[in-house]
A and B are shown apart, each in its own frame.
Chain A
Amino acid sequence: MFYDDIELGTRLITLMAAAMLVVQFLMVGQRLLPTAIRLFSLQSLFLACLAGTVAYVNQARHVYIAAALTLLLKVIVMPLFLNRILERATEKAEVESHLNTPASILICGGLTLVGYMVAHPFIKPHERGHSTLAVATALFLMGFFLMMNRRKAISQVLGLLTAENGLFLAAISLTYGMPLIVELGIFFDVLIAVMIFGILVYRISEIFDSMDTNKFRRLRG
């Protein structure tokens, strides 16, 4: 069925990148916050599997550490943390967005095409993992779109995290493993960012009784 390990690896990497894209679309269409968090966890699981495959195919041992860290932090710790914030905030757990779902999905479809177009000049047809960059760019753009489109602070954090997933995907598929110290730096950066965001979101919901960022105008003196 498959020719050799490299071939199989490239297929698996492309497959999982595509699965991440599908999950991202589901997240855009999702209305319930707990499910959105679960979807983020699923997307990160695909990312961790992808990193593991990259590590295996390229015999890059330190990428295993990146994969394990993704699994630990993004699949388990961060979703748990976000869920706890959600439980503490006394609000209905629905995502509220500026645009309605079909419009958001359409825009995200357009963004994916933009991602493909942007990535197109950078790739040669027979290069390994050639469509992964396109998927990563699409994830990145859609993450930013989610941040702009959502009203609640916590779902904006989710948007940022998916954008970061796209960034990590691009890094890992282009370089097949950055130096370990860079990866560790990025991970702890994101972890600290999520922690700070979490505390901030919690305080916001305590003070304003809402996580809706539109209500922050009251802060003006």
Chain B
Amino acid sequence: MKLWLAQVVLQLFLALGLSPFVSGFIRKLKAVLQNRRGPSLWQPYHDLFKWVRKGTVVSQQASWLFRATPYVSFLTALMVSLMVPMVTAVVPLSYFGGVLAVVYLLALARFFVALAALDTASAFGGMGSSREMTVSALAEPAMMLSIFTVALTAGSTNLSFMVQAALQHQERFLSPSHILALAAMFIVLIAETGRLPVDNPATHLELTMIHEAMILEYSGHYLALVEWGTALKQLVLMSLLVNIFFPVGIGGALTARTVTVGLIAYVVKLLLLACVVALVETSNAKLRLFRVPELLSIGFILAALALASSFIF
């Protein structure tokens, strides 16, 4: 029980502390790749601190939904981050639910954010939530199918079991179906975290924004909660990809040594993935909105093929 509590607290602090850093790292790397100096690595922390101190402005027409949404989105992201293996294969909330709970808790947060964007009746909010729903309706099946491919090989949808099975039978996990699933999962990661070919996280240009359009009305500590929740969601999706497909170095048991090794391996893998994301963002132009479904349909077909080929072989 004591061990469990310690693990919960540690993973909470790790997720909360690391998630802004990953965002900052990608931003900095993108700047360097584009021959800019870019903001410092700690800028997301400064931003969060600034927003927490500032007052909030809420539209008079906004209902309770607008005020509740930041808490919902932040808390669901925080809860999900306790259900995904990060440093060890043993997850604090392992018996609460498997990967289905992870996916649908994220969907719950998205549902609330989209509703809150509609709530203030600003034109941008409605546009943003309509776009977000379009993208997520296409990205979610691809994500489910690619995770199911791994779950099928592992024989369980419980993420702890999946990672442990991947650790024991690494040779089974390097099959073509997993490469297809990995490619699909990467496309989903790009779409769900609002990265460049799909959405531009660094712009407030009305024609192109998706996620930014939804949270345009938020300010002060509400904005801090929403942004931190987004960073947490990004961390969760990246950990999912990194730990399910490359379970190298992740500890099976809870000892001081495995936790240390696992922590180092985890951070290194995350930063490598962040480098890949930054490279993809720098080398691609934003897709026209009507072309986004084409990219996502590639992801979906890849994931469907991954699942089919794991049945055939």
Contact = CB atoms under 8 A, between A and B. Distances in A.
Interface of A: 1-3, 7, 11, 14-15, 17-19, 21-22, 25-26, 28-29, 31, 101-102, 105-106, 108-109, 112-113, 116-117, 120, 130-131, 134-135
B44 to A, nearest CB: 32
Interface string B269-313: 000000000000000000000010111011001101100110011
A117 B312 CA distance: 8
Nearest to A116: B312
Nearest to B295: A29
Given A11-B174, A17-B176, A113 B308 contact: yes
Interface string B134-177: 00000000000000000000000000000000000011001111
Given A2-B171, A109-B305, A116-B312, A15 B179 contact: yes
Contact of B305 (A26, A101, A112): A112
B180 interface: yes
Given A109-B305, A120-B312, A11 B171 contact: yes
Contact of A14 (B175, B294, B301, B304): B175
A25 B186 CA distance: 14
A131 B180 CA distance: 13
A22 B291 CA distance: 19
Contact of A18 (B176, B297, B298, B304): B176
Contacts of B179: 15, 18-19, 21-22
Contact of A131 (B297, B304, B309): B309
Interface of B: 170-171, 174-180, 183, 291, 293-295, 297-298, 301-302, 304-305, 308-309, 312-313
A133 to B, nearest CB: 11
A109 B293 contact: no
Interface centre among A17, A22, A130 (most CB of B within 10 A): A22
Given A1-B170, A2-B171, A131-B313, A113 B305 contact: yes
B208 to A, nearest CB: 18
Looking at B178, B183, B291, B309, the one whose CB has the most chain A CB atoms below 10 A away is B309
Contacts of A117: 312
25 contacts: A1-B170, A3-B171, A11-B171, A14-B176, A15-B179, A18-B179, A19-B179, A21-B176, A21-B179, A22-B179, A25-B183, A25-B302, A29-B297, A105-B297, A105-B298, A108-B301, A109-B301, A112-B309, A113-B305, A113-B308, A116-B309, A116-B313, A130-B313, A131-B176, A135-B176
A191 B239 CA distance: 45
B272 to A, nearest CB: 17
Given A22-B302, A113-B308, A102 B297 contact: yes
A21 B302 CA distance: 10
Top-6 shortest CB links A-B: A18-B176, A18-B179, A101-B294, A109-B301, A102-B297, A29-B298
Nearest to B293: A102
Nearest to A16: B179
Nearest to B300: A105
Given A11-B174, A131-B175, 18 more contacts: A3-B171, A15-B176, A15-B179, A17-B176, A18-B178, A18-B179, A21-B180, A22-B179, A22-B183, A25-B301, A25-B302, A28-B298, A101-B297, A105-B294, A105-B297, A112-B305, A113-B308, A134-B313
A117 B305 CA distance: 13
